[in-house]
């Protein structure tokens, strides 16, 4: 099966994404196009760069990074453990411009006290933005640096008006 990929450049990083033509299977943040392509070639057998497959998602990215409040309601395909998928589905419910703590997510899925496990699941989120893991913060409100880095997370939260 061919996996289609495309990129969207933002300020100091690149949003890279992949899908099967119907569903998005990967969205991440990268320092360069080369880094993204290397990762996609490691993950998938057949990779083809094709922006056309993602025209709706690209329009939403443009609107989002222009500061428009949007929800990414695109079909996705998740692979992970049952726990990870429960975490990611809960995180997907966090509204634009708001944050929740790792502890809140843990409690919401019936696993109070599992904040560290939630943090690990959030770190492994394969579909950033659509599953807005940047909206999950520490209980003291501090932005953690896991996954794709504190700088990107803060950039997204500032864009959404969640932090000054």
> Which are the catalytic amino acids?
133
Q: Which long-range contacts (CB under 8 A, 24 or more apart) does 61-65 make?
A: 61/8, 61/15, 61/129, 62/8, 64/129, 64/159, 65/8, 65/10, 65/159
CA distance 160 to 152: 12
- SS3 for 155? helix
Q: Which long-range contacts (CB under 8 A, 24 or more apart) does 11-15 make?
A: 11/155, 12/151, 12/155, 13/148, 13/152, 15/61, 15/128, 15/129
> Looking at residue 131, what DSSP letter applies?
B
Which residue shows structure tokens 């290397």? 38
């Amino acid at each position: 099966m061919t996996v289609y990929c495309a990129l969207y450049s933002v300020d100091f990083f690149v949003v890279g994404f992949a899908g099967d033509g119907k569903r998005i299977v990967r969205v991440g943040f990268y320092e360069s196009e080369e880094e993204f392509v290397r990762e996609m070639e490691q993950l998938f057998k057949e990779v083809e760069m094709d922006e056309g497959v993602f025209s709706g998602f690209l329009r939403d990215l443009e609107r989002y990074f222009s500061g428009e409040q949007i929800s990414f309601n695109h079909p996705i395909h998740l692979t992970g453990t049952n726990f990870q998928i429960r975490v990611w589905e809960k995180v997907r419910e966090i509204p634009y411009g708001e944050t929740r703590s790792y502890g809140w997510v843990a409690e919401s899925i019936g696993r109070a006290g599992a904040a560290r496990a939630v943090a690990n699941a959030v770190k492994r989120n394969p579909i950033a933005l659509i599953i807005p893991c940047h909206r999950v913060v520490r209980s003291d409100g501090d932005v953690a640096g896991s996954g794709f880095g504190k700088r990107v997370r803060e950039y997204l939260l500032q864009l959404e008006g969640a932090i000054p």
